Amino acid sequence: QVTKLTPFGRLALWPYRSLISVMALGRRLVSVGDLHGDYTTTMQILRKMGLVDEAGDWSGGAATLVQTGDQVDRGKDSLKILNFLMRLQDQAPQSGGRVLLLYGNHEVMHLQGSYDYLHITELKEAGGRQVWQKLWEPEGDVGKRVRERFQAIALVGSTLFSHAGLLPQLAEGFAASIAGAPAPADVVE
């Protein structure tokens, strides 16, 4: 069980489900960032790390995978990567593993309606800009799932993960918000 902490400061205004996760560490931890729509390389990385098998199913056992954002844009397989990682997020707990998906600036841009870096092939295959925009709306297929499953930062053991760091005032607020939280070794998985 991941302990969810109350968002702090101005981050509480974010329309996203979960901002912070705290969990005990006692298993393998893998972090991967900036996949940017490159499904082939994503699969190569996760296979080499022993997290997925040849069929693309979770094989990481009790490992924790933290994807630190920017799954979308640049490459032509943004949706394929999103769907794949969300499937792994569902599969991993069956083996005692966990997949944490963090917001990168590109996911946030899509949630805000900015698609400046979207690969033209992916946009065409989706049916055009209006279809893509509907997918990312708050109740759209992609937008709703991203808002439900992603988080801004994660604390795994004593390691803090974010996409591009924290502003000093946010880091101070984060430290203050977890001051009363149980130590990572005390958090029940």
Task: Please give the positions annotated as active site.
Answer: 106
pLDDT in tens, 21-37: 444 455 789 999 999 99
d(C-alpha 141, C-alpha 139), whole Å:
7
pLDDT, residue 114, reads: 94
189 residues of the chain, pLDDT tens digit each: 333 333 333 333 333 333 344 444 557 899 999 999 999 999 999 999 999 999 999 999 999 999 999 999 999 999 999 999 999 999 999 999 999 999 999 999 999 999 999 999 999 999 999 999 999 999 999 999 999 999 988 888 778 888 987 777 777 766 666 665 554 443 333
Phi, psi (rounded to 5 degrees) for 21: -125, 140
pLDDT, residue 164, reads: 84
The torsion region of residue 30 among left (phi > 0), alpha (psi -120 to 50) and beta comes to beta
* Beta strands 159-161; 29-32: pairing state: unpaired
pLDDT, residue 90, reads: 98
pLDDT in tens, 113-140: 999 999 999 999 999 999 999 999 999 9
* Beta strands 98-102; 64-67: pairing state: parallel
pLDDT, residue 184, reads: 45
Contact criterion met (CB below 8 Å) for 15 and 176? no
pLDDT, residue 111, reads: 94
